[in-house]
Amino acid sequence: MNNYQLMITADDKQVVLERILQVTRYRGFLINGINAKVNTGTNIGTIELLVRSERPIELLVDQINKLIDIKEVKIDNHAS
Amino acid sequence: MTNEKKLTGAGLLFNVLEQHGVEHVFGYPGGAIMPIYDALYDSKVEHFLCRHEQGAAFSAVGYARASGKVGVCFATSGPGATNLITGLADALADSIPIVAITGQVATAAMGSDAFQEIDIFGLSLACTKHSFQVTDINDLEKVLHQAFAIALEGRQGPVLVDIPKDIQITEVNRCLDKLVNLENKVKLPPANVGSAIALLNQAKQPILYVGGGVGMANAIDELRDFATTTGLPSVSTLKGLGAIDPEDENYLGMLGMHGTKAANIAVQECDLLIAVGARFDDRVTGKLNEFAPHAKVIHFDIDTSEINKRRIADASILGDLKVNLPALAIPLAIKPWQAVCHEMNNNFAWDYNHPGELIFAPAVLKEISDKMPKNSCVTTDVGQHQMWAAQHMVFDDPSNFLTSAGMGTMGFGIPAAVGAQVSRPTDCIIAVSGDGSFMMNVQELSTIKRFQLPVKIVLIDNAKLGMVRQWQDLFFNGRLSETDLADNPDFIMLANAFDIKAKMITKKSQVSAAIEEMLEHDGPYLLQVKIDAQENVWPLVPPNTANDKMMEST
């Protein structure tokens, strides 16, 4: 299992967090931790997602990036 | 504010549909969508009442696939909405642009377990490209425009818009006077053209692997120019059938589990695989780590997430195929390899010799293909008949072969044919079905009757769930479990009950005249073709096996 940390920025739209969690589970990643907050001034949400999986993290990054409300996904670190 | 005409939410919906050129919708009314059906009364949009919401969803899919337009379907809340889900999942798997409108209980009742309330918004997350729930009437117009834009942009797909009943009846100013342009979400890296050209020039045995993305990108002309200029031998996925010119001498047919022997061997032996709008699906690759084991890969796609998902690409060309294919169209010096492929095509041609009097389904489907009018559109259900249609019928455009490829949904064929016939009223639409699949959406015969759609249904009947029976025979020691359908209804009587002319044939000698009678008939027609229940689809690559280790008819 490899551990990864993603930093996601997203428009603060309906169910965006549910969408991220659904994609994460479906694509074979387990969630170790999550921290989410919204800047009410800009309506931009930031989600810090700690995940683990046997699969390459790029597979998850590409799938989260496809979600309509996502602005950016960054891999913060690689840790095995 | 350029247009301040007051409309209800329901009226606004039809206003936006008309703005997007929507002429036809498929649906089924119910309590929470009644204001929308009331507004339908005053709309120019023509509504096709289906007899199940799943039928409406598949009709919208068939409409979209046959016409290239967005398919639209309506359903009420609760069970109406959940009945759409299989159609939405099918559209997601095959990247089909659909906009589904669902009624929802009033916002004040939401979350109270109200009558016919279900969280379709939540349920939609796994089976749509995107979804919306409109809880503020002032958002409705923009959301509807976004739904159409999202369905069509980049890799196409289904979008659901859930509209509570109170939003449907609330009055609002229509405030946008033009369509919303989405921020371009598809930000693609620069195409890796230089390294791809180098790979093409180095290759001695390259193969062009064509997927459904070519038709979705409307890049058939560009693909055919690319194939002609390069001279590449080519293979097709199930959803890609029709993209390559079937007369192209370098075309080897469908690859994968039930692909041609020539296609599968050529792919296994190739040294470069040029995947175009294809996604290395498990039914294509067989055992993944033994698929095209000697090949480097150039992967063209619009969807970044498909690159390196199942097979690492040596060069990836992201973006619009209409732009990117011409950039790589260079003549290649591969005559010896072309000759090898031509020889395989000749050596492994289909054999239609079949002993006995019982009807041989591949020969029937080939004869229909030979005799059907130009620009006919064939839909299928899922199972043996689907694979026989893919193997033995010839298509010159992907919009002329509508089959549930990714999701493999039984019950697709009849409602998809309804949608195709609505979108192309003067073309011959033929639904090839099996006796298992046919019963899954048999209620749509009523839609055919209601609108007098001249759909031709070819029912390949072995009184079995044939593909499952075949696998039970081959891989489960012949332990036949729940695959016998000997208690099927009388299909002729059933068709007649819907005012559909029908005929059953049981012998080879009846085939030609029956096909001609069906094709010449003005209205809907069902041709029941009884076949030997023991017939299998060949060749077959067994599960978790390399594609060159296929089983063949003995």
The C-alpha of A40 sits at a distance from chain B's nearest C-alpha, in angstroms, of: 19
Q: Which two tokens stand for residue B387?
A: 């694979």
DSSP state of B180: P
pLDDT in tens, B518-538: 999 999 999 999 999 999 999
Amino acid at B453: L
Residues of A in contact with B301 (CB under 8 A): none
The number of C-beta contacts closer than 8 angstroms across A and B is: 32
ipTM for the predicted complex: 0.95
List of residues 6+ apart from B457 with CB closer than 8 A: B414, B417, B430, B431, B433, B438, B495, B500, B524, B525, B526, B527
Alpha-carbon gap, residue A54 to A28, rounded angstroms? 8
| The total number of residues written for chain A in this structure | 80
The pLDDT of residue B192: 81
The pLDDT of residue B4: 60
CB contact at 8 A, B64 and B71: yes
pLDDT in tens, B114-127: 999 999 999 999 99
Q: Which two tokens stand for residue B347?
A: 């050596």
Alpha-carbon gap, residue B214 to B401, rounded angstroms? 14
The C-alpha of B384 sits at a distance from chain A's nearest C-alpha, in angstroms, of: 30
The C-alpha of A18 sits at a distance from chain B's nearest C-alpha, in angstroms, of: 8
pLDDT band at B175 (very low <50, low <70, confident <90, very high): confident
pLDDT band at B188 (very low <50, low <70, confident <90, very high): low
The C-alpha of A62 sits at a distance from chain B's nearest C-alpha, in angstroms, of: 5
For chain B, percent of residues with pLDDT exceeding 90? 95
Architecture of domain A2-76: 2-Layer Sandwich (3.30)
Asked if A62 lies within 8 A of B132 by C-beta distance, the reply is no
- For residue B162, give the nearest of B113, B226, B233, B99 by alpha carbon: B99
Torsion sign (Cα): B313, B315, B316, B321: negative
Q: Which two tokens stand for residue B410?
A: 């039984």
Report chain B's mean pLDDT, rounded to a whole number.
96
Asked if A59 lies within 8 A of B133 by C-beta distance, the reply is no
The pLDDT of residue A75: 96
pLDDT band at B365 (very low <50, low <70, confident <90, very high): very high
Alpha-carbon gap, residue B174 to B197, rounded angstroms? 52
Residues of B in contact with A28 (CB under 8 A): none
Q: What is the mean pLDDT of each run of 10 residues along chain A (80 residues)?
A: 96 95 98 95 96 97 97 80
What average pLDDT does this structure show over B393-415?
98
The pLDDT of residue B176: 67
Interface test with B, best of A12, A15, A65 (most B CBs within 10 A): A15
Asked if B125 lies within 8 A of A63 by C-beta distance, the reply is no
Phi, psi for residue B545 in degrees, rounded to 5: -130, 150
The pLDDT of residue B494: 98
Residues of A in contact with B89 (CB under 8 A): none
Asked if B125 lies within 8 A of A18 by C-beta distance, the reply is yes
Residues of A with CB under 8 A from a CB of B: 14-15, 18-19, 22, 26, 56, 58-59, 62-63, 65-68
Cβ of residue B360 closer than 8 Å to a chain A Cβ: no
Taking residue B116's Cβ as centre, other Cβ atoms within 10 Å add up to 16
Residues of B in contact with A43 (CB under 8 A): none
The burial of B395, by beta-carbon neighbours within 10 Å (0-12 exposed, 13-18 middle, 19 or more buried), is given as: buried
Which chain B residue is nearest to residue A62, measuring alpha carbons? B305
Alpha helices for B94-218 (secondary structure H): 120-123, 140-152, 165-169, 193-202, 213-216
The pLDDT of residue B50: 98
Nearest to B150 among A26, A62, A68 (CB): A68
Is this model's pTM higher than 0.90 or not? yes
The pLDDT of residue B1: 44
Asked if B121 lies within 8 A of A15 by C-beta distance, the reply is yes
Taking residue B8's Cβ as centre, other Cβ atoms within 10 Å add up to 20
What average pLDDT does this structure show over B241-267?
98
Asked if A59 lies within 8 A of B185 by C-beta distance, the reply is no
Cβ of residue B330 closer than 8 Å to a chain A Cβ: no
Amino acid at B275: A
pLDDT band at B96 (very low <50, low <70, confident <90, very high): very high
β-pairing, B24-27 vs B46-49, is parallel
CB contact at 8 A, B286 and B292: no
What average pLDDT does this structure show over B354-368?
97
pLDDT band at B553 (very low <50, low <70, confident <90, very high): confident
Alpha-carbon gap, residue B14 to B19, rounded angstroms? 8
The pLDDT of residue A77: 67
What average pLDDT does this structure show over B421-425?
98
For chain B, percent of residues with pLDDT exceeding 70? 96
- Known catalytic residues of B are 53, 115-116, 165, 467
Residues of A in contact with B150 (CB under 8 A): 68
More confident residue, B182 or B73: B73
What average pLDDT does this structure show over B144-153?
97
pLDDT in tens, B303-345: 999 999 999 999 999 999 999 999 999 999 999 999 999 999 9
Cβ of residue B303 closer than 8 Å to a chain A Cβ: yes
